[in-house]
Each structure stands twice: as C-alpha cells, then as structure tokens.
Amino acid sequence: MIKFLLKGILRDRSRSLLPIIIVTMGAFLAVIMYTFMEGGIGGMIETSARFNTGHVRIMTNAYYKIQDQVPNDLALIEVSPLLEKLQTTYPDFRWMTRIQFGGLLDVPDENGETLKQGPVVGTAIDFSSNVGSEIMKIKQGLVSGALPTKPFEILISEQFANKLGLKIGDSVTLLTSTINGSMAFANFIVSGFLSFGINAMDRGTIIADIKDIQSVLDMPDGASDVLGFASNMIYDDKKMVETAKKFNVTFGNAEDEFAPIMLSLGEQDGLDEMLGYADAAGSIIVGLFVFAMAIVLWNSGLMGNLRRYGEIGIRLAMGEPKGFIYRAMILESCMIGIIGSIIGTIIGLFCAYLLEIYGLDYGALMQNSTMMMENVMRAKVTPFAFVIGFLPGVFAPALGAIFAGIGIYKRQTASLFKELEV
Amino acid sequence: MLLALNLAFKNLMGGRLRTILNILILSFAFVIIIFFRGIMNGMDEQMSRAMIDEEIAGGQYWVESYDPFDPLTLDEAYMNIPAEIQKLINNGTAEQILLRPATIFPQGRDQNVILRGINPNQKLVTMPTIALSSQLEFPLLIGKHMAKSSGLNVGDKIMIRWRDKHGAFDAKEGTIVSIMDTIVQTIDRGQIWMRISDLQELSGLPNEATIILVDKNVPPELITGWTFRSTDFLLSDVKSLVKTKQAGAVIMYALLLFLAMLAIFDTQVLAVFRRRKEIGTMIAMGMTRNRVIAIFTIEGALNGVFAIIAGAILGYPLLRYFAVKGMSIYSAADDFGMAIPDRLYAYYSGQLIIGTTLLIFILVTIVSYLPTRKIAKLNPTEAIRGKIT
C-alpha cells in the first residue's frame, strides 16, 4: 500500500508538489525558529549563568534582598567551610566563590597624579583553582597578556583599557570602599586584556584574584556569593529548583539574615519570566503557521479531491470501500508530510548551521544594555532540531486530509458512472 | 465589466468551502501582518515619544568631546556656553545640562553615578525637575530604577563625592526630593539630577555645560566646539531596534502571504482546468479571450476583497484589544538599556492599513491572473471537447 501511494506521489506532480512545498516551508520555519530560540535563549542562559547567576547561587538572606546594591557588608563570611560542605553534599556540582564590587580605576601620569579615571565593575574569583576562570571562559576571552599569577594583578576589558590608554604591565589604582564603609585604595598591575563580546561586560570590567580583593575590602574569607554549576554545564531548571529547595530546607534559616539562601538561575533577574515569554512567543508563531498551513493544506486537499474526482469514482466503482480510500488519502498526506518535512528540515538545518557559525550581531543595539547577553546571537542545532519540523509537517497535512477527505463519503455509488461519463 | 463582476461573484459563491478556506487564510495573513506591524509601530511610537518628551526635546547640542558611551569623556566634557546659545536660554527655547561623574554612598556602600545639573524651571522636557525648586539646600531627583538599585526613597539623605575641575575630591550630603517614573533608562539608571547652579558651583564650572536641549522650532546652527544632534540621530537606536524586529517579522509575513498566494494560485489553476468546456463555450459564443481572462482574474481578486472584509470583521476585536489594553512585556526588558515600556500598545496607522490592504489586493490579483494566461492560447473547439493545450 505504502509503495503504491509513494509511486502515486512521485509520479503525479499535481498531487504532491504544492503540498510538499507548503510542508517544506512549515518544517523549515519550525527548524529555524526553534534553533534560533535555542541559540538565543540558550546563549543568554549560559552567559547569565557564567557571569552572573550560576545555575544556582548562594548568598545571605540580607544580601539577596538588596542584591542590586551589591551590599558586600552583608556578604557571606567563612566561605571556606561552606565551600567544603557544598563539595561534599553536592559532588556533581562545581562551585566558585566570587566577590562583586564597584569603584573607580585611576590611571596615573608620570608624576603619579591622576591622568584618567573611570568607573569600573569588578569581579574577583579564585585564580588558584581553575574553576572560576574556566567557567567565565577567561582564557578564551584573553586578547593579550596573561592570567594573574602574582598578588595584585588584574585583567581589564580591552575596550575600557584602550579608552584609558593602558598597556600590559601598567600600574593602576582602584578606589573603592571597604565593607565597613571606609575608603580603600589599592594599586594593581595590569596583567591582561579581555574581550567577552558582551557589552555589559566589555564597557568597564576588571577581574582580580579573590584573595587580593578580600584584603582590599576587609572581608577575609568572605564572598558576595557562591555560584554552583552542574558538572556537565547544562542547565536543568527542574533539577536546580529542586536542589535550591533542598538546600534551603537543610542550610537555610529565614529568621537569620546572615544565613545562606540558594536560588536557581530561573529565580533570579526575572529570567524564568523571560524564558517563559520567549517560549510562548515561539510557540504562538509556530502555532500560527501550523494553523495557516492546515487551512492551506485542507484547501489543497479539496483541490486534490476535485482533480482526482474521476480516480476516486473509479476506485469506488471497482468496489474499494470508502473508508479504505479515506484512510489511504490520510496516509498519503502523512507521506507527503514526511517528504516535505525531510526537505524542510534539511534546508532549515543548513540555514541554522550557518546562523550557528556566523550569528546575528545585535551589539550596536545594546550599548546601554545591562543584560548578560552576547552581542552576537547564534542559532543552536540540537538533536531535537532534527525532528521538530516533523511535528507541524506531518500534523498539518494529516489534518487537512481528514477534513478534505470527508467528501469521499458524500459520493453516491449509484450515480458514479453518470458522473464519470462512461 | 458589471457582467464580469457578476459572473465572477457567482462562480466564487459556487466554490463554497474552497472559497471560505481561501478567504480564511488570506484574512488570517491580513490580520496577522497588521497586528505585528501595529505592535512594532506602537513600540516605535511609545519609545520615541517618551525619549523626545523626557530627554531629547527638539534636539541637542553636545560638547564635541562628549561620548555618552564612554564615561571617561565626562571629566573633560564641558564648555562655556556661547552667546548664541545663551540668547536661546534667556528666551526659554534652550536649556543647559552639565554632566559630572561622581560616587554616592547609600548605606555606606559606594556606587558610581553621573550627576546631571538642570534648570528646575525648564519647560523643554517633561521630567519633573520642578521638584528641584525645593527650599532644601541640596535637593536631588532620581528615577525609579536608580531608587531601586540604590535603595533610596524620598526624604533620604545621601552622601555624594565628586571631583572638581582641578581633580580635587569633595563631598556633600543631598536629599532625595522626588523619584520620577520614567521608561527612559538613559535619564534614570545611574543618574542623579540636581540644580545646575548647584552642580556648576560644586565642580567650579560656572556657566559651563555638556548638553544643550533646544526647542523643536530652533533651527540648528554651526557653533564652534558644539555638535548638533538631531532627534533622528538621538532616536537612531530605537529606529534600529524597530527595523531589526521588522526585518525578522518580514520573513514571517512573506511566508504567510506565500502560503495564502499558493492557495489562490492552486484554486485558479484548478478553475481553468475544470472549467475548460465553459471557457471554450464562452469563446465560441463570441466572448474575447481577454474578457474571459478578466472574468477569471476578477474571480480570484474577489478572494482578496472578501478576505479584507472578513479580516476587518474577524480581526477587529483582537486588533482593538491590543490597541486599547496593550500587551505586557517581561519585567526585565528594560535591562536592554532602552526606553522599553512595561506595556506595548499597538498603533495602526492609516498608512499601515491602506498599505497592507493594497499589498494583499495587488498580490492576489497578480496571482489570480498568472494561471489564466493559458486561456489566451486556448483553441475553442478543443476546449469545448474538454481538452486544454
């Protein structure tokens, strides 16, 4: 039966060409939309996780309430024992301690007077373990110079360093405040320049070793937060929400403002809302196209039935049951759906692959952005991208055929020969 | 013509379900295109309006060294106000703004900010600068995001540290007198507004400014050391964002229209094929080929007319809902740093509706005409026998 239908599809162009074109378009659209969403949203999740939220993030209750202010006076203390506990309790996670801070970076002239001064956002990580620099992809972001190896060496975003006229090895002064509110000054040597391809990071970021910053800010063994990552670096929302819940039951204490609290990535910065919004937008657009495709294919099924009026009549006259013909029509449309989906998926994957390599640069539109989002948005080809095109691709023609084929039951066997003008 | 219309209408009505499906898909495409473009137009309109009303006015003069994306230029970005601008300031058609980098210490923590000095009684932008007329010694105005990120409320005192023009640090305590509700991030995030007289005095920069706002009726002039930035220039980010979104949406419109046109094309091909005897008879009875082509083309084009009518009837509630109630945007959208509103209200201009209507009608007519060209080559005697060559 399938062989017979397939021959019909391949040999009778008028039967299959238009539906295949429509299905190809639908499948192509589904693949492109899905891969671009996956790439864009996935990229944003990954960037947010690496540079801001982690897959899970631990801070104090008090810090969490006003985290926008980066209140290091409310930061975690005695982080080393906490880190050991975390590594024991959650062996399938990678943990990094971090201090976030702000201040002014002062570039002196040859007399030691201020030549230039600019605001900076700083991140301090532990360079003695590779976890922090690996997670933040510091090595990949290093444009020139090297990672800090000696005390009081820092990395500066290249864009910012160029504006300050800095060279590798130059000395700069960080003006900031300790957690006790007093002014703090510290001299650093620039060891390298970084470029992340994220406007929010490239505008004015410095990265220092956590021990140096702990001493500058008067927070021995302290950290703004501890970020946790799944060992495979893939964010699983359900798992992370569950982990955070369990942690808060075991280690948390809502009454104690300095007790730790764990949040999943989705629970921070309105990311779950944003992800939901993006998902909904994608589903709505794909849904609209499935609807449009189903109508067009329904229409095309009607056309097909009219075109094949004679053929259906002869088959009925020869004794083929109406139900059998109806089912054959639906099966045929499913086959057309599969053929169209294969073609659409191939074209879609090819375009998605190009989008994955080259991406679309939105950097110019995000100069004021504070979002942890790469300037270049790329598609991402995942295993599911190979099948997503088949959902609308097979569903829409089948739906169209189900409606269009109803006409078969309206044919009167008695008047067939008259109709066929035999 | 009337006969052709009449015939076409009757034939179309005879198609029943096929006609309904064609009209449905076309009207669906019509409504979706108008809806999405309306949302984009609304976004453009809201963002541009907010920026013009609250920040840009009729355009701005910038000190040549000023670059809003480079905070390092702020230290040196000021200049004496030239006589021609002073004249405009005196007659109320221009206002000066001075920008200085500073640090504030909310709850003892430091936070980098930009101080913006402005005349409290200015009338060029709708910012509530009048609050700075307060009798308090050092009144300050901030936006809601700034208030959130610094934990400041009306009445709070805040220590500000800045450097004067000689590079010497100085500090003073100010009082938050008002928090403005704005969607324009560039006048809110990391910005503290104060009286320009206060800022000029504190930084030792009397009669100096960074930006000059001008009224929309003031023609731009060439002024040494200053660059005029038109509203078009200052809104270029908004326009680029909308254009980018539009470009993405065009692919969707094109695919939807392509689907609809395929349906029409297929219907027309089938109509010519199935009604070849009818066509042959018409030609044999003396109707010109062009007349027959016209009948079939009008028949196809009527799909477009009915689709537009159906779209207007079926789509009106949806389109109106989004124009009146709007569509909520996720709360973190303003992190893009642009003036993105909490709710987007669709805006359907006459140009948009007429343009889309014409586009659909013209496309449908062309697509309806293409398959009918076969009629021109028909041999009537063959056609009457049911053959088409």
Residue A253 has a CB neighbour count (10 Å cut-off) of 12
Measured distance CA(B109)–CA(B141) in Å, rounded: 20
- The amino acid present at A232, given as its one-letter code, is N
Q: Nearest Cα to A371, choosing from B331, B39, B147, B71?
A: B331
Radius of gyration of chain B (CA): 32
The pLDDT assigned to B197 comes to 95
Put simply, the answer to whether A68 touches B336 (Cβ < 8 Å) is: no
Is the confidence at residue A42, as pLDDT, over 50? Answer: yes
Between the CA of residue B366 and those of B33, B50, B160, B253, what are the distances in Å?
Answer: 19, 42, 68, 18
- Predicted confidence (pLDDT) per residue in B275-301, tens digit: 878 888 888 888 888 888 888 899 888
Measured distance CA(B300)–CA(B361) in Å, rounded: 10
Put simply, the answer to whether A367 touches B337 (Cβ < 8 Å) is: yes
Inter-chain contacts counted by CB atoms under 8 A, chains A and B? 152
| Chain B positions in Cβ-Cβ contact with residue A300 (cut-off 8 Å) | 262-263, 266
Put simply, the answer to whether A295 touches B24 (Cβ < 8 Å) is: yes
Measured distance CA(A164)–CA(A171) in Å, rounded: 12
In angstroms, the separation between the Cα of residue A164 and the nearest Cα of chain B is 8
In angstroms, the separation between the Cα of residue A284 and the nearest Cα of chain B is 12
Put simply, the answer to whether B262 touches A296 (Cβ < 8 Å) is: yes
Specify whether the CB–CB gap between B262 and A26 falls below 8 A. Answer: no
Is the confidence at residue A349, as pLDDT, over 80? Answer: yes
Residue B10 has a CB neighbour count (10 Å cut-off) of 10
A23 touching chain B per CB within 8 A: no
Percent of chain A with pLDDT over 70: 94
Is the confidence at residue B185, as pLDDT, over 70? Answer: yes
| Closest CB from A119, A289, A298 relative to B112 | A119
Is the confidence at residue B258, as pLDDT, over 80? Answer: yes
| Chain A positions in Cβ-Cβ contact with residue B259 (cut-off 8 Å) | 22, 25, 292-293, 296
Put simply, the answer to whether A163 touches B69 (Cβ < 8 Å) is: no
Phi and psi torsions of B98, nearest 5°: -110, 135
Measured distance CA(B387)–CA(B171) in Å, rounded: 96
The pLDDT assigned to A62 comes to 94
Q: Which of A223-227, B182-186, B242-246 has the weakest average pLDDT?
A: B242-246
B34 touching chain A per CB within 8 A: no
Q: Nearest Cα to A224, choosing from A59, A103, A381?
A: A59
Which residue is listed with tokens 């993105």?
A: B340
Is the confidence at residue B388, as pLDDT, over 60? Answer: no
| Closest CB from B259, B330, B332 relative to A293 | B259
Q: Which of residues 230-289 of A touch B (CB under 8 A)?
A: 269-271, 273-274, 276-277, 285, 288-289
A178 touching chain B per CB within 8 A: no
Between the CA of residue A100 and those of A115, A251, B150, what are the distances in Å?
Answer: 26, 23, 15
Mean pLDDT of B111-119: 94
Q: Nearest Cα to B200, choosing from B72, B76, B71, B78?
A: B78
Put simply, the answer to whether B112 touches A269 (Cβ < 8 Å) is: no
Is the confidence at residue A161, as pLDDT, over 90? Answer: yes
B327-328 and B139-143 strand pairing: unpaired
| Chain A positions in Cβ-Cβ contact with residue B256 (cut-off 8 Å) | 288-289, 292
A364 touching chain B per CB within 8 A: yes
The pLDDT assigned to B207 comes to 92
DSSP assignment of A358-412 equals H-EE-GGGGTT--S---SEE-----TTHHHHTHHHHHHHHHHHHHHHGGGGGG--
The pLDDT assigned to A414 comes to 72
- pLDDT band at residue B2, thresholds of 50, 70 and 90? confident
Measured distance CA(B110)–CA(B143) in Å, rounded: 18
Q: Tokens for B179, please give them.
A: 């928090």
The pLDDT assigned to A422 comes to 47
Put simply, the answer to whether A303 touches B270 (Cβ < 8 Å) is: yes
Is the confidence at residue A366, as pLDDT, over 70? Answer: no
- Predicted confidence (pLDDT) per residue in A138-150, tens digit: 999 999 999 999 9
Measured distance CA(A172)–CA(A167) in Å, rounded: 11
Measured distance CA(A155)–CA(A243) in Å, rounded: 33
